[in-house]
Structure 1
Amino acid sequence: MALNGIDISNWQRGINLAAVPADFVVVKAAQGTGYVSPAVREQADGALAAGKLLGFYHYASGGSATAEADYFVNTIRDYVGRALLALDFEMGENAAWSNQPNTWIKTFCDRVSATTGVKPLVYIPASGLSRAQGIGDYGLWVAQYANMKHTGYQTTPWNEGAYACAMRQYASTGRLPGYGGNLDLNKFYGDAAAWQKIANPQNTQPVPTPAPVAPVLEGDVVDLVIAVRRGEYGNNPERAQKLGARAEEVQGLINHIASASVETLVAETWAGKYGNGDRRANVLGERAEEVRNAINGAAQHTIHTVARGETLSSIAAKYGTNWQHLAQINGLNNPNLIYAGQRITIK
C-alpha cells in the first residue's frame, strides 16, 4: 500500500488543506539557523485539523550540523511524536553539498534522533544519492522528475524502483483540486501505520499543546476597531483569537457602523462617541465622508429654539421670512401649535 501527499512551504501560505486531497502533508519548518517559515504552525495545524498525516522538513544550509539540528527540533518541538521529520539536503544555498556531505547528513540525523527519538528521512535529488551513502539506517526521500508538465497523483512515477526509498517526490508542478498553483507531489511507500511508526517509533503519547488563553485587551473599543481597520489583528480566525474576549464587542461596533443610518451616526458623533479628527475618520472608515457631509450640511442650517410666548409668525418676523415658509420646511401641519423648547429650522 502507498500514500499520496504534498510538501509545502511559505510559498503556499494560505492553502486550504481541508480542500486539497492528500493523505499526508510535509511542511517546511526551518532553514539553517536563522529562518523559520512564517507559515509553519498555520500549515501544520491546518493539516492536523483536516485529518492529514503530518511531517516537517528542515532545509540544510551547511553550517554546523548539530546547531541546525537543534534549531529544527526547537522549531517543531510541540509536534514531536505527531509528525514525521525530514532533512532536505539539496545543492542550493547549502555549503555542505560539496564539503563532506555524508558526514554532515549523518551528524544532523544522529542529533535529531538523539533529541527526539525520531529517525528523520533524508530528502535528496536522485543525482546526489552518493552523498547519502554511509549515513546509517535513515530512510531516503528521493526527488526525480520525468518532466515539468502539470500532473496529478501518479500510481507509478517515472523510474520507480531504480533505487530504494521510503518516499519519492516525482513532480514539482503537480495540480490538485482545491489549490490553484503548483504543488510538490509525493508517494510514500507504506500505509498510515508505517508513517506513524516513523513519526512515533516508541508509540509514546504526545504531550498535548495547551490551548491558547484568550487575551484580555484593555482600551476603548473605538481604538480596537481602528487597529482592526489598519490590519493590526489580521483576518479571522486570527483576529478573533488575538482580540479574545473583546472580539464580539469589536465586531459589533464594526457591524453597527456599517449598517446604521447616517442620522444615527451623526447623533453618535455629536455625542462624542467617535472622537474627533483622524480618530473619528479612522473608526468610521468608509462611512466617514458620508457622516462628515451630513454634519456639515446640518451646520449650514439656522435653527431657532422656541421661547415661551413666541408664535410662528413672530419667529418668522425675526428672520425676515414668513410663517408659511417655516411651516412648510418644518412639516408643521398646525402652524398655531408650537411649544417652548421646540427647534425650528429657519433655512
Structure 2
Amino acid sequence: MAMYTVDVYSGSSDNIICDQHAQGVIIKATQGTGYVNPKCNHQYDLAKSLGKKLGLYHYAGGGNPESEAQFFINNIRNYVGTGILVLDWESYQNSSWGDTNWARRFVNEVHRLTNVWPLIYVQESAIWQVANCANDCGLWVAKYASMDWNSWVVPNMNVSSGAFKFVTGHQYTGGDMDRSIFYLDAASWDKLANPAGATTPKIEAPKPNPTPTPANPAPSTSNWVDALGDRWFEEKGTFISNCNLHLRWGATVSSSVIAVVPAGTVIKYDAYSRHDGFVYLRQPRGNGQYGYIACRDANTNEAFGTFK
C-alpha cells in the first residue's frame, strides 16, 4: 500500500490541502524556538475536515536540540497522537547543519516527552547526518527528478535509504507543490502517530495564581525555566496597553510578530518573565499556543499600560 501526501507551511494555499490526490497532509508547526506557524491550526482543521491523514513537522533551527523539541511539543501538545511527528532537517537557516548528533538528541527528547518517535525529513545526500537515528525513526527522503516535475506520477528513480532499513516516504516534487509518496497504509500511518504507550506530553500545565501587577518574583509563586533559560512565574491577570506594542510568538525582540496591537488592547495573561530588559506577559491562545508581549521596561519599571 502507498499514500500520496502534501506538506504545507504558512505560505501554502488551501488548494494544496484540498487537492483530491493528497491522502495525507503534513503541516509545519514550528521552527527553532521562536516561530509558530500562524496558520497551523487552520491548516490542520481543514485537512482533518477533509478526512486526510495528518502530520506535523518542526523545522530545525540548529539551536539546543532539547529546547527545540520542547518548543515543538509544547506548541502541538493537543495534537500529539492524532498525526505523525516529523523533524525537518535542512541546511537553510540551520546553524547546526552537519552536526551528526543534533537530530539524535532532538528525537530522543520528543520520545521522552511523548513516547513517539518522529520521522526525519532530509535530502538524500545528507542522510548520513541523521544515520544514528536509523534504529528508531522512519526516513522521509527528498529527491526530485527535476523542479518542473509538476505531476502526481512518481518518477522512476532510485532513492537511497542510507543507514535506514527502508524509505518510509519520498518527496518527489518541490515546484508547484511538495508531493510525496509514503509506503504506508492508513493503519501504519496511525501507528506511527500513536504507537502503543504514547503519552500526553510531560510539560507542566499552567496553574492559576491571581496576583496584581507583575513586579519582582515572589518566592511563593509557582515558576519554571523555559527552553531559552528564562524563568517564568505563573500569574493570571489582565493587561491594557497604553501604546502600540508587538504581540509575538516568543518572548524575545527577534521573535516573529503576530500583530502590532494598538493602545487600549486587552491582553489576558497567565504568566510573566523579567529578562532581556523587559517584563514579558504570556497570552494563552488556541490549541496550547501562546503569544508574548512586553508590558514593562525592566530597568526603569515603566509600564506600557495598566493591570487589572
Contact 2:139 2:161 in 1 (8 A): no
Q: Structure 2: any 5+ residue segments left out of the alignment?
A: 202-260, 262-308
1:82–1:206 CA contact under 8 A, matched in 2: no
1:192 pairs with 2:190 = no
Tell me the alpha carbon deviations over residues 271-301 of structure 1, each in whole angstroms, 9 at most, x when there is no partner: xxxxxxxxxxxxxxxxxxxxxxxxxxxxxxx
Report the counterpart of residue 133 of structure 1 in structure 2. Answer: 131
Q: Distance in 2 between matches of 1:60 and 1:26?
A: 16
Tell me what 1:39 maps to. 39
- Give 1:103 shift: 1.0
- Specify the alignment match of 1:21 in structure 2: 21
- Asked if 1 retains the 8 angstrom alpha-carbon contact of 2:145 and 2:155, the reply is no
State the alpha-carbon separation in 1 of the partners of residues 29 and 16 from structure 2: 18
Q: Kindly state the Cα deviation for residue 130 of structure 1 after the two structures are TM-superposed.
A: 1.0
Q: Which runs of 5+ in 1 are unaligned?
A: 174-181, 208-231, 233-347
The one-character-per-residue Cα deviations of 1:104-160 (angstroms, maximum 9, x if unpaired) are 100000000111111100111101111011224211111011111132222455224
Pairing 1:82–2:76 present: no
Larger Rg computed on CA atoms: 1
Match of 2:264 in 1: none
In structure 2, the partner of 1:59 is 59
Q: 1:166 corresponds to which residue?
A: 168
Q: Aligned partners of 1:11 and 1:92: how far apart in 2? A: 17
Shift of the 156–77 alpha-carbon distance from structure 1 to 2, 3 Å rule, reads same
Which of 102, 110, 113 is residue 112 of structure 1 equivalent to? 110
Is the CA contact (8 Å cut-off) linking 2:88 and 2:120 kept in structure 1?
Answer: yes
Specify the alignment match of 1:309 in structure 2: none
SS at match of 2:11: helix
Aligned residues: 198
Residue 204 of structure 1: how far off its partner (Å) = 6.4
Distance 1:19 1:151, change over 3 A: closer
What is the SS of the residue equivalent to 1:133?
Answer: helix
Question: 8 Å contact 1:22–1:52 — kept in the other structure?
Answer: yes
**Aligned twin of 1:179:** none
CA drift of 1:15 comes to: 3.6
Distance 2:200 2:185 in 1: 21
Q: 1:123 to 1:151 in 2, by over 3 A?
A: same
Larger strand proportion, structure 1 or 2? 2
Distance 1:91 1:133 in 2: 16
Q: How big is the shift at 1:197?
A: 0.6
Q: Secondary structure at the match of 2:171?
A: strand
Specify the alignment match of 2:147 in structure 1. Answer: 148
Is contact 2:55-2:86 (8 Å) kept?
Answer: yes
- Of structures 1 and 2, the one with the larger relative CO (CA 8 A, separation 6+) is 2
2:195 paired residue number: 201
Contact 2:115 / 2:198 at 8 angstroms: preserved in 1? no
- Aligned residue number for residue 334 of structure 1: none
Asked if structure 2 preserves the Cα contact closer than 8 Å seen for 1:7 and 1:26, the reply is yes
| Identical positions, percent | 37
8 Å CA contact 1:27–1:57 kept in 2: the answer is yes
Displacement of 1:162 in angstroms is: 6.2
Structure 1 segment 268-283 matched on structure 2, within 5 A: none
What letter matches 1:132 in structure 2?
A: V
Question: RMSD of the alignment, in Å?
Answer: 2.2
Q: Determine which structure has the larger helix proportion and give its number.
A: 1
Following superposition, the deviation at residue 2 of structure 1 comes to 0.7
Runs of 4+ in 1 over 6 A off after TM superposition: 203-207
Q: Which whole-Å deviations, capped at 9, do the CAs of 1:25-58 have from their partners, x for residues lacking one? A: 0000000000001110000111111100000100
Which AA in structure 2 matches 1:34?
G
1:154 corresponds to which letter in structure 2? V
Amino acid at match of 1:103: N
**Structure 1 pair 195/144, CA: closer, same or farther in 2 (3 Å)?**
same
